[in-house]
Amino acid sequence: MIRSVVQGCGAYLPERIVTNAELAGKMETSDEWIQQRTGIRQRHIAAEGEFTSHLAIKAAQRALERAGLQGSDLDLIVLATATPDLTFPATATRVQAALGMTKGAAFDVQAVCAGFIYGLSVADSMIKNGLASTALVIGAETFSRILDWNDRGTAVLFGDGAGAVVLRAEHGEGTSHDRGILANALHSDGRQHDILYVDGGPSSTRTTGFLRMEGKEVFKHAVVNMAAVVGEVLDKAGLTAKDLDWLVPHQANKRIIDGTGRKLGLPPERVVVTVDRHANTSAASIPLALDVAVGDGRIKRGDLLLLEGIGGGLSWGASLVRW
Ligand code: UT7
């Protein structure tokens, strides 16, 4: 059977780092509150004139380099973002042009913090159906542009960044020992639309709007839905938590990450945590975390990884990947 096998990953973070202490100088918050409630110590913020596409292009170039491939080898780009450069066309087409890719298709998917899992699943399905053979999946965001800097309840939580993986069609045996994406699970529940949203858009207000969140409500759903979806994706692949080498979760809150790790019975050293350095970068958080753990040698070829994330919609999902 055809498997979508990861050939390389890459990431990019804007240069400017904003610490909790710097935010505490601008709004009524403290390093202590932010660290205790979320685990965040700092976040990267894009420079004036630095767009989501710029971050995405840099992450994509690094992923291609690690994969030993060029932009012209790609026949698919799926870019997960909730902060596109423009309302249209897809930010993915800017990345496509910059990488020198002239065949195939490039488009955006929008599932907010679950966007990378949605993007991986779409690319995996297209590869398995013969619609693509070499795909780039990117998560890239500039959430700093949609934050209400007067709302301390949300402004301290997010950061900017991008991460990417290159997938290539390869033949597998059809067993859980195959390298590549072994299973995906996706869900959304539109009844929870109003607990995490942006209060603007081209069709409603003609403005971009700001992020609004009922944090406690989202937290409750996150804990329950993450516990369910990690079990679901393991069942689909006929595996159990004991088979896992790494949990690479969406990085929104250390307490949610710890809860999911505990539910799986994984020791903390098997859970990749970057929320302290990157804060919540929405669709970029999982590939950014992947890049850190691959870069420092923790994640090795053949390891079994569980990726999971939840965000506005609500939308959530998980992917099981043999690296
Ligand atoms: O990526 C998409 C998914 N998003 C998430 O997963 C986020 C999920 N939610 C969370 O991570 C947490 O709910 C938050 C980190 C957003 C908030 O933590 P919490 O423990 O749920 O706190 P809270 O919102 O209930 O606020 C507790 C208190 C409030 O004060 P009172 O009413 O108890 O006096 C807030 O006004 O903390 C106050 N507060 C702050 N204090 C200092 C809220 N934000 C801040 C702040 N600094 N930045």
Catalytic residue chosen out of the listed positions 44, 54, 250, 278: 250
Same domain, 141 and 191: no
Same domain, 56 and 161: yes
Per the annotation, the verdict on 250 as an active-site residue is yes
Q: What is the CATH number of the domain that holds 61?
A: 3.40.47.10
What per-residue confidence (pLDDT) applies to 186? 98
Same domain, 114 and 200: no
Same domain, 102 and 224: no
Same domain, 234 and 133: no
Same domain, 314 and 232: yes
Q: What's the CA gap between 310 and 303, in Å, rounded?
A: 23
Ligand 1 atom with least separation from CA of 253: 11
Catalytic residue chosen out of the listed positions 113, 184, 225, 253: 113
Q: Is 29 in the pocket of ligand 1 (CB under 6 A)?
A: yes
Mutate to test the pocket of ligand 1, among 22, 219, 258 (most ligand atoms within 8 A of CB): 219
| CB neighbour list of residue 308: distance below 8 Å, 6 or more residues apart | 117, 226, 229, 230, 233, 247, 249, 250, 260, 316, 317, 318, 319
Q: Is 280 in the pocket of ligand 1 (CB under 6 A)?
A: yes
Nearest CA to ligand 1 atom 18: 37
Separation of CA 269 and ligand 1 centre (Å): 26
Print burial letters for 18-39: b (CB count within 10 Å at least 16), e (below 16): bebeebbeeeebebeebeeebb
- Residue 286 corresponds to which amino acid? I
Q: What's the CA gap between 288 and 293, in Å, rounded?
A: 9
> How far are the Cα atoms of 24, 192, 231, 294 from residue 284, in angstroms, in the given order?
25, 22, 23, 16
> Residue 137: which region, alpha, beta or left (left: phi > 0; alpha: psi -120 to 50)?
beta
Range of the domain at 308: 180-322
Same domain, 235 and 305: yes
Nearest CA to ligand 1 atom 17: 215
Tokens of 139: 């998560």
What per-residue confidence (pLDDT) applies to 295? 98
Q: Is 302 in the pocket of ligand 1 (CB under 6 A)?
A: no
What per-residue confidence (pLDDT) applies to 47? 98
Q: Model confidence over 209-231: pLDDT tens digits? A: 999 999 999 999 999 999 999 99
Which candidate, 115, 175, 169, places its Cα nearest to that of 6?
A: 169
Per the annotation, the verdict on 253 as an active-site residue is no
State which of 171, 193, 208 marks the end of a domain. Answer: 171
Same domain, 142 and 192: no
What per-residue confidence (pLDDT) applies to 14? 98
- Averages of pLDDT over runs of 10 residues in the chain (323 residues) are 98 98 98 98 98 98 98 98 98 98 98 98 98 98 98 98 98 96 98 98 96 98 96 98 98 97 96 98 98 98 98 98 98
Q: What's the CA gap between 305 and 282, in Å, rounded?
A: 19
Q: Is 304 in the pocket of ligand 1 (CB under 6 A)?
A: no
Q: What's the CA gap between 36 and 24, in Å, rounded?
A: 14
Using DSSP's 3-state secondary structure scheme, residue 18 falls into strand
State which of 150, 171, 192 marks the end of a domain. Answer: 171
Same domain, 31 and 163: yes
Q: What's the CA gap between 322 and 173, in Å, rounded?
A: 13
Give yes or no for a contact between 8 and 59, defined as CB atoms under 8 angstroms apart: no
Q: Is 12 in the pocket of ligand 1 (CB under 6 A)?
A: no
Per the annotation, the verdict on 9 as an active-site residue is no
Q: Is 222 in the pocket of ligand 1 (CB under 6 A)?
A: yes
Fill in the DSSP letter of residue 131.
Answer: S
What per-residue confidence (pLDDT) applies to 243? 98
Chain-centroid distance of CA 205 in Å reads 28
Separation of CA 216 and ligand 1 centre (Å): 7
Q: What's the CA gap between 140 and 264, in Å, rounded?
A: 28
Nearest CA to ligand 1 atom 19: 216
Mutate to test the pocket of ligand 1, among 216, 224, 226 (most ligand atoms within 8 A of CB): 216
Tokens of 240: 């159990």
Separation of CA 254 and ligand 1 centre (Å): 13
Same domain, 200 and 294: yes
Number of domains forming the structure of the chain? 2
State which of 171, 200, 222 marks the end of a domain. Answer: 171
Separation of CA 156 and ligand 1 centre (Å): 10
Which candidate, 133, 118, 138, 4, places its Cα nearest to that of 75?
A: 133
